[in-house]
Structure 1
Amino acid sequence: VKFRKQQDLHNILAWQPPEVVRLYNANGICGHDSEGSPVWYHIIRGLDLRGLLLSVSRQELLRAEFQSCELLLQECEQQSQEVRKVEKIIAVFDFEGLSQRHLWKPGVEFAQEFLTALEANYPEMLKNRIVVRASKLFPVAFNLIKPYITEEMRRKVVIPGDNWKQELPKFISPDQLPVEFGGTMADPNGNPKCLTKINYGGKVPRSYYLRNQVRVQYEHQVTVGRGSSLQVENEILFPGCRAGEMMEVLPSQRHNTHLVPEGGSLTCLQAGVCKIYWVHWSHFPPHAKKPDGESDVLCPRKGPLKGELRDVGG
């Protein structure tokens, strides 16, 4: 419940992801397995995670993944009403084209963070994770994320081998499986990849990179030394406020703000002082950083106050 409130998942289906995410995030929901479970495809060759993370904030990209999870749950509910009770999904990962560029450290950290959130908040959603066209580099990639998935989740990983096109129809009926993956499903125009349902991604144009855009100028600038922290306080006042002990309302998060600006908001459900900590954890370069940022308290006409922090890097 806390996670759903923090991510505003009740309204996420109405949220519109940034254009670059809609065009280049290489995944899609297409077809159902023999039991009616929706199938979620991930196309590794077309995934330019570096380009995406240089074009949008990490939180926006995470939010796009959570939106897909909610769409899958919605599809399960619809299948339950029309066919039979469906509570789980199948994920198909096409690892063709996996290379060193996919092992970029901030990208790996993003994958680790998403998997951690997936395990904690959607633990029963996944029926099988099917890996096709696994290259020699796949064991390296898998070892990087292995600590972030449970033993039960690891047992759900299926790697068919070279005959994967003959094996996939055992999980997914041919008429629900794109021709590209060994089935008979195609787009209305005959395209075997089902491009109307699966986004095959591609290299993100540099024109989307946020560092190429005009830098926002904020009122305050403060130097934060390595290993030091900065505390920003916002007073949250509304009827019924009371004194209380300090409590964590949002877990600590790491942001690569030297690559892309970060932003976010938090709905404050209680009165008090909201303290925001900026910590400089980098090991190099050894000098201090000067992050530009802004935090506002927004008071809507109805509902709780909202504290907003936008961090544009340093």
Structure 2
Amino acid sequence: MAAPSKEELTLIEKFRGQLEDLGLDDEQKSDMQLLRWIRARENDLAQAEKMFRNYFKWWKEEDIANILTWTPPEMILDIYPIHVDGSDNENAPVVIFPLGRADLKCIMRNGYKDETIRYIDQVWERAIIKMKGRLTNEGVPVTQFTCVMDMDQLSMTTVGSFKVIQLFTSTLHHLDSNYPEIFRKCFIINTSRAFQILFGIFKPLLTGRTFRKLDIFTTEDKWKPALLAEIPPSSLPEYYGAGDTVIIPMNVSNENCSLKWKIGVESYDIDFYVTLNNQEVVPKTKLESHRASVYDSHRCDSIGIYNFHFDNSYSRLRSKTVKYCIKIEH
């Protein structure tokens, strides 16, 4: 989001004063956070205040400050895995919704409407956490993220479900009411006739500011260049343009030394193994995010290039963040 103008800085000071009784923390009352609400209501401070107070009431009642400690039902996580990772070219987080593939009718059939809405609220909060401390290329604090909504396999039966439409309506209401100006850009890709019908229902619910941030594409040859112009391949799952395996080479020039490593996975899991001359010397194993970082070592009886493989080929739609430290000890 662009830095505030002189006029907006004046409005921000007035707005901050209007909210003084709420006891906001430093982040909540920062210039860039308050600016989101002002811009969302086109500089109308009375409307911005009303909107913020409604949000703040909801924020306290729903204990949003602790929402990251809540675990969604396993069914929701399995059916609707939402990816929050990586950064776009403006250093904003990237959120990917595989919306078309999600069996939302199944979720609703099992009575998980409220839990799904809370799950999506949790996704917004995860993205907000990742924004903290980040600056754009212009040195402005990051307060927005880039969203990719993949409509591949969206069916007419899903679009025709009244309960699914209710879920979409509630989700949009939460987004507009509680997370204004949160999108830097929103790519909607792999759209079909089913999406056109769905979009026709929800387009009137979108604010003009939100609508202008949408980029809608049909086929891969149209969306992939646009996506890669805004998001580095390394921040995308392999299906959207990234590679599926990362290899870290380590040159061992002396015999009888050891390779030692510490590896952690931020979310989901990834296959890991080590090779020498295309032969596995450390067998493939799955590193899982819910476990502590892995500390391990390998005694090197031969010199050569030892390749550390992080293989995501079995999970093309989910990119992974891996943190590692590898060293050679003699």
TM over 0.5: yes
Report the Cα distance in structure 2 between the residues aligned to 1:48 and 1:135, rounded to whole angstroms: 17
Alignment of 1:82-93 (within 5 A): 85-93=141-149
Equivalent residue letter for 2:202: I
8 Å CA contact 2:85–2:319 kept in 1: the answer is: no
Larger Rg belongs to:
2
Residue 178 of structure 1 pairs with residue 237 of structure 2: yes
Counterpart of 2:182 in structure 1 is 125
On the 8 A contact 1:176/1:185 being kept in 2, the answer is no
The residue aligned with 1:189 is 311
**2:224 is matched by which residue type in structure 1?**
K
Which residue of structure 2 aligns with residue 159 of structure 1?
Answer: 216
The yes-or-no answer on 1:62 pairing with 2:117 is yes
- Partner of residue 110, structure 1: 167
How much has 1:31 moved relative to structure 2? Answer: 1.5
Please give the root-mean-square deviation of Cα atoms over the aligned residues, in Å: 2.3
Alignment counterpart, residue 140 of structure 1, candidates 185, 197, 208: 197
State the shift of 1:137 in Å: 2.3
> Secondary structure of 1:86's match?
coil
Matched, 1:11 2:70: no
8 Å Cα contact 1:41/1:93 also seen in 2? yes
**Structure 2 length normalisation: TM-score?**
0.55
Answer whether contact 2:131 2:143 (CA < 8 A) is retained.
yes
Structure number with the bigger relative contact order (C-alpha 8 A, sep ≥ 6) is: 1
Contact 1:166–1:182, Cα closer than 8 Å, also in 2:
no
Label 1:58 to 1:190 Cα distance change in 2 as closer, same or farther (>3 A): closer
Structure 2 CA distance for aligned equivalents of residues 149 and 6 of structure 1? 25
Determine whether 1:30 maps to 2:89: no
CA contact (8 A) 2:83 2:318 kept: no
Match of 2:132, SS state, is helix
Contact kept in structure 1, 2:238 and 2:319, CA below 8 Å: no
Range 154-163 or range 4-13, more displaced? 154-163
- Preserved CA contact (<8 Å) 1:29 1:197: no
Q: Distance in 2 between matches of 1:31 and 1:128?
A: 15
- Give CA-to-partner distance per residue, 1:5-48, whole Å, 9 cap, x none: 12210111111111112222242213210111111111133211
Partners in 2 of 1:42 and 1:69 — Cα distance? 12
Q: Secondary structure at the match of 1:40?
A: strand
Q: Distance in 2 between matches of 1:160 and 1:52?
A: 27
Cα–Cα, structure 1 residues 129 and 196, in superposed 2: closer, same or farther, change >3 Å? closer
Residue 95 of structure 1: how far off its partner (Å): 1.1
- Determine the C-alpha separation between the residues in 1 that align with 2:75 and 2:319: 17
* Structure 1 residues 46 and 79, CA gap change in structure 2 (3 angstroms): same
Counterpart in the other structure of 1:222: none
Once residues 8 and 147 of structure 1 are traced to their aligned partners in structure 2, the CA distance between those partners, rounded to angstroms, is 30
Render the CA deviation track for 1:101-130: whole Å, top value 9, x for unaligned: 221111111111110111111002111110
**In 1, are the aligned partners of 2:181 and 2:210 still within 8 Å (CA)?**
no
- In the alignment, the residues of structure 1 paired with residue 235 and residue 140 of structure 2 have an alpha-carbon distance, to the nearest angstrom, of 17
Superposition deviation, residue 179 in structure 1: 2.2
Work out whether 1:100 is the aligned partner of 2:222.
no
- Any idea what the Cα deviations from partners look like across 1:240-270, whole Å, max 9, x if unmatched? xxxxxxxxxxxxxxxxxxxxxxxxxxxxxxx
Per-residue Cα deviation, 1:126-180 (whole angstroms, up to 9, x for no partner) = 1111011111222111011112211111111102443211221111012222220
Separation in structure 2 between the aligned mates of residue 156 and residue 182 of structure 1, nearest angstrom: 22
Partner Cα separation in structure 1 for residue 319 and residue 76 of structure 2? 16
Structure 2, unaligned stretches of length 5 or more?
1-55, 246-269, 271-309, 322-330
For residue 189 of structure 1, report the CA deviation from its aligned partner: 1.3
Would you say how many aligned residue pairs link Structure 1 and Structure 2? Answer: 197
Q: State the distance in 2 between where 1:116 and 1:99 align.
A: 23
CA distance in structure 2 between the aligned counterparts of 1:91 and 1:65, rounded to whole angstroms: 13
Question: What TM-score, normalized to structure 1?
Answer: 0.58
SS of the residue aligned with 2:210?
A: helix
Aligned residue identity for 2:238: V
Deviation per residue, 1:39-81 (Å, 9 max, x gap): 1111133211111122243221111111111111001115359
Decide whether the 8 Å contact of 1:26 with 1:46 is kept in 2: no
Equivalent residue letter for 1:190: N
The residue aligned with 2:75 is 20
Contact 1:169 1:183 in 2 (8 A): no
